[in-house]
Amino acid sequence: MKIHVKCFATLSKADHCDYKDSQTSDLEENADVKDLITKLGLPEDDVKIIFVNGKRVEAGEKLFDGDRVGFFPPVGGM
């Protein structure tokens, strides 16, 4: 399944997870957000806010084909 991903602030890496344009990542069916974090090589402890299709979720949230995911690091004293 294809997932559209954006990473913000210090999590942004232009080659695989940028904030300007969403990148597409292929995942197996029944994957969750944590699987995506691992596939992208993001430090799990640095991902503090996760949005899927505009709603805040936790890392265990199941993903579906075409989902839009945003990752944010700690902000404002988190």
Q: How far apart are CA 53 and CA 76, in angstroms?
A: 23
Q: How far apart are CA 53 and CA 69, in angstroms?
A: 6
pLDDT in tens, 11-59: 887 566 777 777 889 999 999 999 999 999 998 999 999 999 999 999 9
- Domain for residue 68, yes or no? yes
- Provide the residue range defining the domain that includes 49: 2-72
State percent of the chain over pLDDT 70.
92
What pLDDT, on the 0 to 100 scale, is given for residue 77? 59
Q: How many domains does the chain have?
A: 1
What pLDDT, on the 0 to 100 scale, is given for residue 17? 79
- Domain for residue 57, yes or no? yes
- Domain for residue 6, yes or no? yes
Alpha-helical segments (H) within the chain: 33-40
pLDDT in tens, 43-56: 899 999 999 999 99
- Domain for residue 78, yes or no? no
Residue 6's CATH number: 3.10.20.30
Q: Is the pLDDT of residue 66 over 70?
A: yes
- Domain for residue 41, yes or no? yes
